[in-house]
Amino acid sequence: MSGNIWIVAEQWRGKLSEITFESLALGREVADGLGVKLQAVLLGHDVQNLSTSLGMADSVIYVDHTELADPGASAQASALAQLVRQQKPRTVIVPLTNVSLGTGTLLGEQVGAPVVNFCKDLRAADGHIVADCVLYGGKIEATVTPRGDLTVIGLWPGSRPPDKGRSDRNPPVETQTVTFADQPSVKLRSYIEPDASDVDITQQDVLVAVGRGIQSQENVALAEELAASLGGAVCGSRPVIDQGWLPLSRQVGKSGLNVKPKLYLALGISGAPEHLEGMKDAPLIVAVNSDPDAPIFNVAHYGVVADAMDMIPTLKETVLALRG
Amino acid sequence: MNILVLLRMVPDVVEELEIAPDGRTLDTEYLRMIVNESDDHALEQALILKERKGGKVTVLALDAPDVDDVLFSAVAKGADRVMKIEGGDGGVTTRAAAGMFAEIIRNEKDLQPFDIVLTGVQAIDDLDALVAPILSHRLGLPYLAIVTKVTPDATGKSVTAIREFAGGVRGEFDVPLPAVLGIQAAEKPPRYVPVAKVRAAMKTSKIESIGVPTMADGGQPLLDVSHMRKPVVSGHAQMLDGEPEDVSKKLAGIFTERGLL
Ligand SMILES: Cc1cc2nc3c(=O)[nH]c(=O)nc-3n(C[C@H](O)[C@H](O)[C@H](O)COP(=O)(O)OP(=O)(O)OC[C@H]3O[C@@H](n4cnc5c(N)ncnc54)[C@H](O)[C@@H]3O)c2cc1C
Ligand SMILES: Nc1ncnc2c1ncn2[C@@H]1O[C@H](COP(=O)(O)O)[C@@H](O)[C@H]1O
């Protein structure tokens, strides 16, 4: 048993994702804590050049195959399972992103290992690993110890600053081959790019973000007036987009966009991890929510426990009066 | 099309959640259970497919508080069969639940042949893995997650599915059938069904009961939860109290200070 810590380097459309560096930073701590090596596993087609950015790991395991060219949980998991059986790491950290979703579960299933999902932090304690997980839309945390020699970890984005996982070192690369069974599988036909004609919410200084708590399309229009008074634009959480109250181009979060405005004013947004992922780095976050336990208050700088509909018109009037 | 939909009851997180005295589980006494949000979308997508292509929608769920209401409301919306897996001890992990569904789908002859299994993409309490990928693996079927639209192809042997990636980018996929899809959002918001129709469904339809299957791997948990807690509010947010007018003034002051006004 090599007993090493592995991180799965997520690459998408030829680029390494931020979570790759976050995982490297976290993986480094855990590997050092256990006194084992940290290895990065890079899967793809014609992407060996990316390995030079993975120097935080002691070494890189690279697999090149056309089946791995596009993201796909089944092919990724099958490749990882073959490597795991050969090399016997103790922990495999898989990103819990929209690109990699499902890979960790399938890997655990194929190699018969426990899967720790929704992990936000990981540490070594007495030669074991212990994970902290975020459940119930951010309202509960659980501390979890997996059983057995091998564990698969599904890691939320944001566990460590990505810069802590970068290094100038050029790591040694070991190339491995895998085979794929000839089974029916899904095939990517094409990508659909987001609509570029709408307001670009990533370029706004002020964003007024509305969530399910906004309750109706008419109230979204009121939030738009508030945004206009502040010289900004409106964006939203997933349920608001799914309802068709705002276009997909306004969605913030895991499937949507990452934004970092000077002010993020969240109205009726609970603060689920998938939403926080897209806005947690804004320098000024103000949240209005009727639930004092809403997880959004854990990342907001200022919080107001109130009905958003009471706040919207008053705040708009106050701002307009100040602006003259 | 013969469509199977899996529904799961989860705690409503808009309510206050309490930890049980054991410190390792949620206190179920005051929990309000609702259907997992993406499952509602999975059901809607199934009903849309049935409307387009004809066929049958069968809904499967594990026994849980209030699950009957959800199953009858599925019938009221247009589901043809609703089935409840009964006799388990309730506290099954996601992995064990996935294993049970795989056994049932494989062994209940009258569920065959099916074209597609739709589950919600993810549930808020999935500490130990996701259902759809496990099901796909155990049934030897293709899998796609984070799906937002499913369109049947002319041949009836495949569907076109839209899957979300990051940054608002989506992908169009060719999915050979049968397959397992994790639905994130149906192509339109889940339909609303009036209570009167649900009541009518309670009178005219019945929930079929299936016993908990014996599992090859025993369905034992592979994780130990040592404790659960509410996140420590890191004292991050400074809370502003008062009437909307006062709070608005305070906020406007903060915005001015930051040069935003
Ligand atoms: C794979 C995947 C990808 C996802 N991607 C995204 C993504 O990109 N973006 C995203 O946002 N989500 C995403 N989600 C969904 C995410 O998990 C949450 O479901 C979602 O963020 C919840 O949105 P919300 O906060 O608006 O709604 P809820 O969680 O329902 O919260 C509504 C809030 O409004 C409050 N409220 C109610 N009434 C009022 C009122 N009158 N005044 C003030 N407050 C009120 C409530 O207290 C509650 O806190 C994704 C999920 C998955 C599984
Ligand atoms: N206990 C369960 N009963 C019924 N359906 C379930 C159960 N567990 C998971 N599912 C289905 O699988 C989806 C994804 O759940 P999970 O993979 O556990 O996040 C759920 O939204 C349901 O569609």
pLDDT at residue A1 tops 60: no
Q: Which domains does chain B have, with CATH numbers?
A: 2-211 (3.40.50.620)
Its pTM stands at 0.92
CA–CA distance, B109 with B118 (Å, rounded to integer): 19
Q: Is A304 within a domain?
A: yes
| One domain, residues A160 and A80 | yes
At A259 the three-state DSSP class reads: coil
> In chain B, which stretches have pLDDT less than 70?
89-91, 218-219, 233-235
The answer to whether B139 and B102 are in contact (CB under 8 A) is yes
| Ligand sitting nearest the alpha carbon of B38 | 2
CA–CA distance, B6 with A291 (Å, rounded to integer): 30
Give the one of B11, B126, B227 whose C-beta lies nearest to A143's C-beta.
Answer: B227
Among A118, A216, A264, A269, name the best residue to mutate to test ligand 1's pocket (greatest count of ligand atoms within 8 A of Cβ): A269
Total domains in the fold of chain A: 2
Q: Distance, CA A213 to ligand 1 centroid (Å)? A: 8
Among B94, B184, B247, name the best residue to mutate to test ligand 1's pocket (greatest count of ligand atoms within 8 A of Cβ): B184
The answer to whether A241 and A248 are in contact (CB under 8 A) is yes
Quote ipTM for the complex.
0.90
| One domain, residues A136 and A211 | no
Q: Cβ A303–B240 below 8 Å, yes or no?
A: yes
Q: Is A191 within a domain?
A: no
| One domain, residues A12 and A125 | yes
The answer to whether B103 and B215 are in contact (CB under 8 A) is yes
| One domain, residues A249 and A291 | yes
Say what percent of chain A tops pLDDT 90. Answer: 96
| One domain, residues A126 and A31 | yes
CA–CA distance, A115 with A118 (Å, rounded to integer): 10
Q: Is A273 within a domain?
A: yes
Would you say the CB of residue B7 lies under 6 angstroms from ligand 2?
yes
The boundaries of the domain holding residue A215 are: 201-323
| One domain, residues A150 and A283 | no
| One domain, residues A23 and A106 | yes
| Ligand sitting nearest the alpha carbon of B42 | 2
| One domain, residues A18 and A155 | yes
CATH number of the domain within which A302 lies: 3.40.50.1220
DSSP lists the bridge partners of residue A67 as none
CA–CA distance, B87 with B186 (Å, rounded to integer): 32
| One domain, residues A134 and A257 | no
pLDDT at residue A259 tops 80: yes
Q: Is A194 within a domain?
A: no
State residue B253's pLDDT score.
97
State residue B12's pLDDT score.
94
Would you say the CB of residue B5 lies under 6 angstroms from ligand 2?
no
| One domain, residues A48 and A100 | yes
**pLDDT, tens digit (0-9, with 9 covering 90-100), for B134-143:** 999 999 999 9
Q: Is A67 within a domain?
A: yes
Q: Is A93 within a domain?
A: yes
**pLDDT, tens digit (0-9, with 9 covering 90-100), for B57-75:** 999 999 999 999 999 999 9
State residue A2's pLDDT score.
76
CA–CA distance, A27 with A40 (Å, rounded to integer): 9
CATH number of the domain within which A162 lies: 3.40.50.620
Q: How many CA atoms lie within 13 A of A291 on its CB side?
A: 19
Would you say the CB of residue A258 lies under 6 angstroms from ligand 1?
no
Q: Is A111 within a domain?
A: yes
Length of chain B: 261
Q: Is A288 within a domain?
A: yes
At residue A223, what is the residue type?
A: A
Would you say the CB of residue B43 lies under 6 angstroms from ligand 2?
no
